[in-house]
Structure formats: C-alpha cells, structure tokens
Structure 1
Amino acid sequence: MSSTTDFNAAALHSFLNQPVNPAMIIYLAECASDVVECVSTLVPSLVPSLTSHQGRPSESAGFYILVPDLRLPSLQEFIYRLVELSKIETPILMSTLIYLARLKRRLQSCQGSPSTSHRIFLAALILSTKYHDDTPYTNGSWARLSRIATQRHALRLSCDDVNHMERELLLLLNWDVSIPERDLYTELRPLINPVSVVVLLPMPIVTTRLQNGLSFDSSPMRRPAVITPHALRPTMSALAVPAHHTRYMAMSIKSNQIPTRYNALAAICAWITLAGFIVLPNTFTSIEKSESLRKHQGGKVLQSAVRNVQLLPLAGVLCGVGVLGSCWLWWKWQKNYVWLIAQVFM
C-alpha cells in the first residue's frame, strides 16, 4: 500500500473514530439553512406542496410551524440538542448531508417559515437513522427529543408533525434514500480534509487550530492534494453499507478506546462462564450414570451420586458470575457486543 493510500485511510479512520464535535454541528447547520430561504416573519411555509400519486396537490403546507410568542432556537442549538439526547454517532449524523444536498436541488428559489430548516434537518436525520439503523427511535420518540420549551426558546412538534415531515421528505427525494459512494465523498470532503490536517500537523498547531475553530474553506492547507476520491474509494464504501455493517464498524472502532483493565475483566468473565459450562455437563452425567447403576450397586452408588450433586451449585455460581459480569460490561460500554465477543475468543 502506498504512502498516499495509508494517509487517506488514516484520515478517514480518524474522522469516523472521533465523536460529534461543534465543527460538525456548525457545518450541518449551515448546510440545512441553505436548503431553502427562511423568511424573518412568521408566515406559513412557502415551500410548494407535494403532488400526490394522482397528480393533485396535497392539502398540507409541508415543513410548517407558527410560534407567535416565543423565539425559535437557533439551528445549531436544535441540532446540538438532538445529538446530545439521541446519542447519534458520526457516520449516521453526517449522512444527512446527502439528503440536504438533494433537497437543495429540488427546492431551489423556494422560501419557508423560520422553522423550515429545523424541520428539514430533523426529517433528514430520521431518514438517515432509519437507513443505517432502524431500531433506536420511533417517530414519537423523535418528536419528544426535538421539543424545546424554555423561557427563551420554543419548538413543539407532535408525532403527527414528524410523520408528515417524513412522508413529505420521502416524496421530495422520490423515495431515493440510498447513499452512493460518490455522494458520500462529495458531501463529506469538507469534513474529512480538516481531519487530514490533524493527521499531518504537529500537536501544538492542531490544538491552536481547533481552539480557533475549524473553517471549511478552500485554502490549500484545508484541502491537501493527497485526498482523492480514488484513494478513498476502498474505505468510503464502508459508510454506504446496511445498518448492521455500520454499527459493527462503529463498535469495532470504539473497541480500541476501552481500557486494558476492562479487557482483562471481560476475559476473566468469559473464562469463569466457560468453567461453569464445563462443570455442568459432568454433574448431570454423573447423576445419570449413578441412577442407571443404582439397582446393581445400591447404597454405594447413591452415596457417590450425592457427592456429585455438590458440583451443581458450583456450576451455577460460575455460570452466574460469568454471565452477570459480561452483561455488566456490555451495558457499561454502550452495548458493544463486538468488543465483548472478541474478548471471549481471544
């Protein structure tokens, strides 16, 4: 493998391995706000209604909300709240950029209400989550997560609102929720290139740049020439795989961050569980053998069987301790079953 390919793989791995940071949220907010122009006055959305399958316009306004008394939260604050509460991982969150780009092409020269960008992003995040992992949240859960009601901000979405937003977005996308490799590279390039700076630059320079905030401009330092679509092709396709592959990749990356003492504890629990399962068959084999020979050897066999029964509590204790310890480790490290299974077979 050439040095260029090694560098590209390291840059992408570093990007996927890091948690969601403020630079990502700022960039997402900028992209979501560019989809449609939001007017400053509180008016119904001017985004054209979608056309039904029969060719007649739908009666719904689409991406519409009025909060006359309270100010809406900023889009950055809204995205931050969703990420904080939902614990969305970086690959799923960044995939929303692809849907936002498609919507921008469909909704050129359209205008919307102040909350249009909030709703568009939420609908895109829901589709991205369902595309990669359809298990965590229902639309009702998303409605609860998106509500902000404080003394300064107000945004209240019902489950019906979220259902309607999802249907509208699917129709706008022509039900195309796929994430091709070329689209991934185009939309993620501004985010991967700053990561390549982190890979190349010395730590003091990186720290200074992160403190000053990452900008997504086209300066030569931000866009190294070594990052090419061809070089990233072997690894970029990992983000376009089905849900269970994406979760497996994220868990595998996070496995490297688990401290050594927990790796040792997981191995000990695995060995304790294995010892319990080794003792357990011997217990029942001895009992069965003793029962079959009881008629011929009488009290001697019965006495031997009673001694063997003492192995049963030992087997139960070993299995219980090992399984409970493994379950505790699985829960502590965010249900990372990939790491736990790896410790069992290592």
Structure 2
Amino acid sequence: MATKPSTARKEAYRWRRWLDHLSESPSSTNPAIQSRYVDMLLETEKIPILHNLIASSCTWLLLAGFLVFPGTFSTLQDTALVDGLKGRRRDNEMISDAIENPPLLGLAVASCALGTAGCGWLWWRWRSNLIWPTRQIFL
C-alpha cells in the first residue's frame, strides 16, 4: 500500500509539470519559433529614437537637394542648344553662364552630401538589421 500513494504523487507531479509546460511562452518552449526575422523585429524596438530622427532628417535633406539641384540649371538646355550650335563658347563657360543662382547650387550640393553621409552612416550602423534601414532610409 505504500507504493500506491507515491505513484499517485508522481502522477500528480507529471500532470502539474505538463500543465506548467503548456502555460510557458512559445519562445521558451520551442526556440525554432524565434527566427532571425523575429529577432530583427524585436531589435527595431530597441533602436534609439535619435537614430529615427536623424534618418528622417537625412532623407528629407537628400530629397531637398535633389529637388533644388535641377532648379539651378534651368537655362542650361536653352544655352547649350543655342551656343553649342553656334560654336562660340567653350563648354565650361557655357555651363557657368547657365547657372542662375550659384549659392543655391552650393546649398543643393551641401544638402545632398549631408543627406547621403547621414543615411550612409545609419545604414552602416544598423546593417545587421535588414528591416530598420529598409523602412527608415530606403523607403
């Protein structure tokens, strides 16, 4: 009779253990569920907000540079066609005359350079995470 209570205790212990096993989170019971993609998604939650702000600022700077840059050469096509056909001027003079606003050209180049450098640095910093650079920099 002494063996029956110990068997009942063992059986109760097995049931409690099995029920505890069911209540555990899936990542602790099966490590195959937590893939590299899930790890990258969790890592995006831990990226500092300053990096998100820098990424947004740099992409807007890059866009502003691309929008301003062509506006500085608004008369290049007309000048190139007219002067190129006549053959009066050299190419360097033709381009320098076509720039309507040289300070605006400097602003466009600086904006493009800063935006590209910032985006490049953030991409290099978070290159192990494929999700964050794609969402914050490239889209």
Bin the TM-score by the shorter chain: 0.5 to 0.7
Matching residue of 1:252: 41
Matching residue of 2:71: 282
Instruction: Note the 1:88-167 alignment, pairs <5 A.
Output: none
Unaligned stretches of 5+ residues in structure 1? 1-218, 240-245
Shift of 1:308: 4.2
Shift of 1:302: 8.2
Shift of 1:277: 1.6
Instruction: Tell me if 1:319 matches 2:116.
Output: no
CA contact (8 A) 2:73 2:98 kept: no
Question: TM-score when scaled to structure 1?
Answer: 0.26
Matching residue of 1:225: 22
Instruction: Note the 1:264-303 alignment, pairs <5 A.
Output: 264-294=53-83
Over the aligned positions, Cα root-mean-square deviation in angstroms equals 4.1
Matching residue of 2:131: 338
Distance 1:222 1:334 in 2: 42
Structure showing greater radius of gyration is: 2
Distance 1:258 1:323 in 2: 20
CA contact (8 A) 2:74 2:98 kept: no
Shift of 1:322: 0.7
Pair 1:322–1:227, CA change in 2 (3 A): same
Q: Deviations over 1:196-249 (max 9, x none)?
A: xxxxxxxxxxxxxxxxxxxxxxx73994424598xx99x93x73xxxxxx3x44
Unaligned stretches of 5+ residues in structure 2? 1-15, 87-93
Moved more, 302-311 or 257-266: 302-311
Pair 1:254–1:306, CA change in 2 (3 A): same
Shift of 1:323: 1.1
More helix, by proportion:
2
Amino acid at match of 1:291: A
Pair 1:331–1:306, CA change in 2 (3 A): closer
CA contact (8 A) 1:286 1:308 kept: no
Amino acid at match of 1:262: H
Amino acid at match of 1:328: W
